[in-house]
Structure 1
Amino acid sequence: MSDISVVVLVDTRGPPRETILCKREHRIMYVDLRSWVMVQAAKVNDVVMETSATVRVPVPCTDLNPLNLLEEAMPRIGQLPDGVSVVYDAKSHAHAFQFMQGVADVQFPAAQIFQRCGYFPEEFSIFFILKHGRKYENEECIVNIRDIDRTSISISITNSNIIFIYDSQPVKFRNYVFRDNNWHTVGFSVTGNTVSMTTDCLNIRRKRLKRQFPSFLMVSNSTIHIASCRSRKSALKGMLKDLLLIPGADAATKACPPRVPRHIHHDNNLPMFPDFGGLDTPGPKWEDCTWMSVGNLAFDLYSQSLKVCINGIWKQISIRLAAQAKKKLDYLEAYQNIETMGPSIDVELFSIPGEGLFSVFANSGGNSETHHRKKSVSGLYQWADKKFRLYQKLTTDEAQSWCSFWIGNQFYLAVANYGLNPTHGTNSTIFRWHRRRKKFRVHQDILTWTARDFEYFQNDDDHFLVVANHAKGSTQEVDSIIYKWNKREKKFKEHQAIPTVGAYDWTYFTVDSYQFLAVAQAFNGLSTMIDSRIFLRQGDQFIQFQTMETNGATDWEFFKIGQEYFLVVANAYNYGPQNFKSINTYRTNSTIYKLNIQKKVFERFQSIATDSAIDWEHFTVGDNNYIIVSNAQNGDDEENNNSLIYRWQGMDKFVLVHKMAILPSADWEVFQDGDDMYMIYANPKGKISQVLKVKYA
């Protein structure tokens, strides 16, 4: 860039506007310093002429409504382009567009939808629903937005990849879905420097996108091409049902139910979807929602809501969430007692499409008179008719915690077994859901050492499982292992060993594009006052990022409120030289840390007195954020015989709002059924765990 000067363009209709004018290769670039928008003018002479007119600068598209690009391109059946027809798929009762070989280019000017703006939305999602089962001889195009000489946005498929192009830069995802001649929903979401691909609401893969943010991608003079983008050889041969452009942040978060209800997205207050079955609303009639179309996504332009097929019912979540935001937690009431196989240290919630919601308890001891000689049993329960009912008994060995996850279209459950003999190690087990038998079957055993916890996480197409090994024989110093999924063998293999001391819990979380693992370390053989640690991923390894002094740490919980990131630790026991009189050993302070972005460190934010805290759980009701702490050892002090709920109150930090005199609790989970919210906890001292129901104000 050369010959840069600051000039003032005088607008006779208003105050002066300060603008940087840059001359480059006989072209002028105007940069509006107020809106930070840049636009390229036509070629001009080297001499810049004075003018009194204000340059009209295109603005980003921020006020668009969700659009069905297929309807924009083909608004009337009678005017379909040559080679395009509407077909009926009898198998799934759906109408869709079929594109024949040599189809004429289906296109329309971008100005048709970008009427008051010239730049593509900086954050957006594009969803399409496609059925394709043939082999791909060439790259087949879904949509392409381009001007004369460059591509702005493009989506295409090949036999091996689904390709997303942003500003002529391709990002490739492996094509696992379009091979079975069934309907599949695929969505691409762009935010910041990340592009996410969501397939059938089950699998989300993320990759880095090389772009400056904001990128000001000009589309005012572009053309939107559908199904046949560059040549007739690239024509789409499948059946395309919907092609949706949704401006704003990740619409997949709003459209798809969480695979495990405990992992509520902290950026929003979305519950599971309210029931939409049977409501008579204006707009198009929807095809049947059957088990074959589970996960299919559609957008109703009339009600402006996204709908997803779940368990035979079309369920929706409105883009306008004002009604949900008004809800407030008033109190909780006892709803159901669950008789478990024994004392429960952990409870895990998860959903399987077509089967519903499940809970599985980590039961240790108390369920066999000879449990010191035989393995124990943990109970799996299914949510049916608004109750949890015993569904399957799973063989475990002094189970400590459960972890559920998807790999491709397979669902797994991993249990961390403590075992009965820490000297010889114990097998922890990974179970896989058998679709035909509708039961869990053993898939893989992993040798662990008094395992306390499993944590699953994913990085692009790679899947990982990390175990918290607590002790080995008489020493608490033992490596905890990160395992990586071997795609060829379909097994987890050891990937990285991390030295830990009395490890009790692993928590995976991300901040922007950075990935972290936090380990709670409980005991070093002499004292519970030891450091817990946070690790940062660099390359394919995790390195130490920060240490925090904790006191018998058993759990980390990560959550986000607005633009602030928090970590809270559950400190369970105060033993060692710091408490040589052994007074109130269960009474400790648990600490909330807040991330200082500038310093790149988690700082102490608030301390809360707890009684053998085993678990923290963050949840939202409407616009309100809450954290609940489990008190596993209530002791003889009746005043402390409570589990406590704290509400975020800004400058007041977290304020105690509810004391619940319930059974001892070791783990809390929150789930939604329609408009109803429930909380479930595991009882570590007895065979009765409970479900509580949230009552709204």
Structure 2
Amino acid sequence: MEVVRKAFYLVHLITSSLFCLYLCCINKYILALQCTDHLYISFSDLLPLDILSQVIPTDGSPVNGLRLIQEQGARGLRITALTPAFTFPASHFFISCDIFPEEFSVVLTLKAAMLVPKKNEYIVTLMEDGSDTVILGLRYSPSKFHFLFVTKEGQEIVKNRVTFRDVSLGDNHWHTVVLAVSGNHVSLTIDCSMPLEMVLDQPFPSNVNTRGSRFIIGSRRRWKGMYTGLLRQLVLVPGSDASSKICPSTNPRLATLSIPQILADIPVKPMDNEVLKYPYEAAMKVTLGSNLPCTKNESGQLWFDTLRHGLYLCDSQEWITMLQASKRLDYVQEYQNLITNSETLDIETFVIPSVGLFIATANRKSQPGSGIYKWTDGSFKPYQNLTTYQAQAWKHFTIGKKIFLAVANFEKNEKNMEFSVIYKWSPQKMKFVLYQRLKTNSARDMEAFQINGETFLAIANHRQGDNHNIDSAIYKWNPRTRLFETNQTIPTSGAYDWEFFTIGLYSFLVVANTFNGTSTRIHSHIYIWLGGSFRLFQSILTFGATDWEVFQLGERIFLAVANSQSYDLETNSYAISSTIYELNITAQMFVPFQDIPTYSAVDWEFFTVGDDNFLVVANSFDGTSFSVKSIIYRWQGYEGFVAAHQLPTFGCTDWEVFNTPTGSYLMYSSAKEPVSKVLKLKTY
């Protein structure tokens, strides 16, 4: 009886004068019933409307002007011509009525090309037949994403554009984007990250009529603005924010709601013939030879090295190994003794595209300062000197196309002022030039990182006078002023190192606290990024911690700390274990995994050779001598890390690994002599 009563009540509403708006059906599913007294009856089982499936034959037969491409492990469609095949009437979706839903989402997965400034490309449009008016559309430019729609004010048609700024989709990588529209609110979610939200002056119209209009994929019926990238997913979802349907995802760049079957399947051979079921092409060609350059011109090119029997991919800076006969580390050979300006505390390796491989050494003396060296003819040669003040560390990073190199200075300059300095690479002068000074206090380290497309710089302030318990600072890049500005300060105790890492969608920053004024037996802290700032996640007891190194083995995540000294009012020891911690997913914390005996350890470096994984520790002092052997440990599975090679070092403070076309190398710096050594990894 209750069901019958509600049915009669609904009939009464429909036939009464209160009921005034519309009933719309899409694919025979009711979208909404809306009355002037704001009664809504909504249905959550609405099917996603796959736009791409409307232009792809179900039997996989070829379509003129449409190419099937596989890049970066996923398939997509590329439009190469303007043909009616990439359009279809809106009535395919809007069967029972012609009104476009006022609440909806568009889910798209694309691999967009890099565009020149001021150029736009249209991803999808809804247009009237015989008119150039875009009723609704999506387009992107080098740093923006636009949502276009029209409204009617009387007889006048008003064009509206909602622009999301600082959105970089044109980077030749796959991205999944969800645009959600509801009333006055429009949000944009990229790769399951935090959504960007905008509030409209007027809500999205409820009377957008689609009668006599067509969906057009990849253009607005013109060659100008035609989409040149790859499309994998293009779905209209009426009545909801679809981001919750696909996020979180283990692969957020390729998060899937609905894609054509031809893009989901791996090409297979039917039982009755030897041809592929679907047309398929690779977008790359393989070049044979040896010692090929890797610049922007070769970006995305495959190279087969006939000498090393390996297949490599150019990322515009270096050749990335795709397939190679597995190598094993045999022994380590002394390769180059690099004479430095003075004792060296740190080495930073980096590549400048189209210029070459460089290192920056953090040297103790201010004159001639710290050195920058370039790899030339198989060895490092002096390239540039920069005035520094007992430099502790260098950090190379990029913001867009700009290349920066920042130094942490430990002492005051000639004017009794204490600054750490950021230098910027000048393509015209072909050298680094002064860009910005940051006030610091005996800075030990710098760490540059990005969160949600924004660039940050963390500085480890070690002490102010005799006070080690001071704030370290995190700076944020301001795109408007093009400078770093203070974003957050964090209390630290003799801070020595920052290490940034991510786990899934979460970002972390861990500090190595060394000394609190009386003891080195203090806690170092891991912070997690939440709500626009770093908050304490976990505290770990350390002993004069000087370095953190994060690395991953399969699905397991590790964090290694270098303990340098156990000191308090009663004890003073340099022979102390350093600890490797492993992330316990269930407990949501890092737990001890392995203790390794070290001697005033000041650095860990993780590297791989073939299928083997290694950790090398910088042992600097055993209590009586700086001539201490640093150890390379090999990952042995159940046994953990096992000592594999013992390397004689003198006051070792840092290890770096780098690769060139001629092989792989280790390099260490010495805080006790003006010589840094390059060692070659000999393999078999």
TM-score, scaled relative to structure 1? 0.63
State the secondary structure of the residue aligned to 1:327: coil
The whole-number CA distance in structure 2 between the counterparts of 1:97 and 1:691 is: 50
Contact 1:131 1:238 (C-alpha < 8 Å) held by counterparts: no
Give matches, 1:651-662, under 5 Å: 651-662=638-649
Counterpart Cα distance in 1 of 2:586 and 2:480:
43
Deviation for aligned residue 1:634: 4.6
- 1:187 correspondence with 2:190: no
Q: Give the drift of 1:377.
A: 0.4
Residue in 2 that maps onto 1:296: 299
- Structure 2 residue 552 is matched with structure 1 residue 560: yes
- Show the counterpart of 2:335: 335
**CA deviation profile, 1:602-660 (whole Å, cap 9, x unmatched):** 1111111111101001111122111100012255469x721101111121111111111
Alpha-carbon distance between aligned partners in 2 of 1:338 and 1:500, rounded to the nearest angstrom: 35
Contact 2:494 2:516 in 1 (8 A): yes
In the other structure, the counterpart of 1:148 is: none
1:462 paired to 2:454: yes
CA–CA distance in structure 1, aligned partners of residues 354 and 385 of structure 2: 21
Instruction: Using the TM superposition, give the Cα deviation of residue 439 of structure 1 relative to its aligned residue in structure 2, in angstroms.
Output: 0.5
Match of 1:471 in 2: 463
List runs of 5+ in structure 2 lacking aligned partners: 1-26, 30-44, 48-55, 68-77, 89-107, 127-136, 148-161, 179-189, 196-214, 234-249, 255-284
1:508 is matched with 500
- Give the Cα separation in 1 of the matches to 2:328 and 2:65: 50
- Closer, same or farther: CA 316–240 of 1 in aligned 2, 3 Å: farther
Deviation at 1:229, TM superposition (A): 3.8
Task: Find the aligned partners of 1:299 and 1:142 in 2 and give their Cα distance.
Answer: 32
Amino acid at match of 2:173: G
Could you say if the C-alpha distance between residues 342 and 238 of structure 1 is closer, same or farther in structure 2, counting changes exceeding 3 Å? farther
Q: What is aligned with 1:104?
A: 84
Q: Evaluate the alpha carbon distance shift between residue 290 and residue 559 of structure 1 in structure 2; reply closer, same or farther with a 3 A threshold.
A: closer
Match of 2:122 in 1: 140
2:173 alignment partner, SS class: strand
Does residue 668 of structure 2 align to residue 681 of structure 1?
A: yes
Deviation of residue 310 (structure 1)?
3.9
* Aligned-partner Cα distance in 1 for 2:232–2:456: 33
Indicate yes or no: 2:377 matched with 1:385. yes
Tell me if structure 2 keeps the 8 A contact 1:189–1:249: no
Measured in 2, the distance between the counterparts of 1:430 and 1:524 equals: 28
For residue 144 of structure 2, what is the aligned residue in structure 1? 161
CA distance 1:635–1:235, shift in 2 (3 Å)? farther
- Does residue 645 (structure 1) correspond to residue 651 (structure 2)? The answer is no
Identity %: 35
Partner of 2:598: 610
CA-to-aligned-CA distance 1:302-342 (integer Å, 9 cap, x gap): x997743647x9x5643xx3x35x22211110011111111
Correspondence for 2:532: 540
Offset, 1:385? 1.7
Q: Using the alignment, how far apart are the partners of 1:641 and 1:317 within structure 2?
A: 34
Distance 1:659 1:458, change over 3 A: same
Contact kept? 1:185, 1:297, Cα under 8 Å: no
Partner of 1:62: none
Query: TM-score, with normalisation over the residues of structure 2?
Result: 0.64
Counterpart contact for 1:244–1:299, Cα < 8 Å: no
Q: Name which of 445, 456, 467 aligns with 1:453.
A: 445
Please name the residue that 1:571 is paired with.
563
The offset of 1:163, in angstroms, is 7.4
Does the 8 Å CA contact 1:73/1:107 hold for their aligned counterparts? Answer: no
Whether contact under 8 Å (2:445, 2:496) holds in the other structure is: yes
Report the Cα distance in structure 1 between the residues aligned to 2:223 and 2:569, rounded to whole angstroms.
Answer: 72
> Partner letter of residue 174 of structure 2?
F
Given candidates 589, 593, 596, the residue that maps to 1:601 is 589
- Offset from partner CA, 1:489-517 (integer Å, 9 cap, x none): 10000111111111111111111111111
For 1:237, the equivalent position in structure 2 comes to 224
* 1:196 paired residue number: none
Describe the superposition over 1:111-149 as per-residue Cα deviations: whole angstroms up to 9, x where unpaired.
xxxxxxxxxxxxx9854546555544xx612899xxxxx
Deviation at 1:662, TM superposition (A): 3.1
2:518 is paired with a residue of what secondary structure? coil
Structure 2 Cα separation of the partners of residues 327 and 163 of structure 1: 48
**C-alpha separation between the residues in 2 aligned to 1:575 and 1:423?**
35
Any residues of structure 2 matched to 1:295-374 within 5 Å, and which? 296-297=299-300, 307-308=313-314, 310=316, 315=319, 317-318=321-322, 321=323, 323-324=324-325, 326-365=326-365
Whether the 8 Å CA contact 1:569–1:616 is kept in 2: the answer is yes
SS at match of 1:393: strand
Aligned positions of 1:35-54 closer than 5 A: none
- In structure 1, the partner of 2:659 is 672
CA shift for structure 1 position 176: 6.0
Name the residue aligned to 1:438: 430
Structure-1 residue corresponding to 2:512: 520
What SS does the aligned partner of 1:651 have?
Answer: helix
One-letter amino acid of the structure 1 residue matched with residue 505 of structure 2:
S
For the 8 Å contact 1:425–1:448, the answer to whether it is kept is no
Structure 2 CA distance, aligned partners of 1:670 and 1:133?
Answer: 37
Coordinate RMSD, CA, aligned: 4.4
Q: How does 1:492-507 map to 2 (within 5 A)?
A: 492-507=484-499
CA contact (8 A) 2:218 2:226 kept: no
Deviation at 1:664, TM superposition (A): 3.0
Within the candidate set 468, 479, 484, 2:476 is matched to 484
SS of the residue aligned with 1:396? coil
Partner residue of 1:208? 193
Name the SS for the 1:472 alignment partner: coil
Q: Does the 8 Å CA contact 1:425/1:472 hold for their aligned counterparts?
A: no
The 3-state SS of whatever aligns with 2:289 is coil
Structure 2 residue 392 is the aligned partner of structure 1 residue 403: no
CA distance, structure 2, for counterparts of residue 156 and residue 243 of structure 1: 14
Give deviations 1:169-209, integer Å, cap 9, x for gaps.
x99673569xxxxxx75211569x9xxxxxxxxxxx96528
Paired position in structure 2 for 1:181: none
* Counterpart AA for 2:595: S
Residues in 1 aligned to 2:415 and 2:539: alpha-carbon distance in whole angstroms: 29
Q: 1:279 aligns with which of 289, 299, 306?
A: 289
Task: State whether residues 141 and 235 of structure 1, in contact with CA within 8 Å, keep that contact through their aligned partners in structure 2.
Answer: no
CA contact (8 A) 1:453 1:468 kept: yes
AA aligned to 2:533 is Q
Q: Quick one: structure 1 residues 300 and 694, their matched pair in 2 at CA, closer, same or farther if it must change by over 3 Å?
A: closer
User: 1:308 is matched by which residue type in structure 2?
Assistant: C
Within a 5 Å distance, the mapping from 1:418-433 to structure 2 comes to 418-420=410-412, 426-433=418-425
Check 1:576–1:140 CA distance in 2 against 1; reply closer, same or farther (3 A cut). same
| Corresponding pairs, count | 500
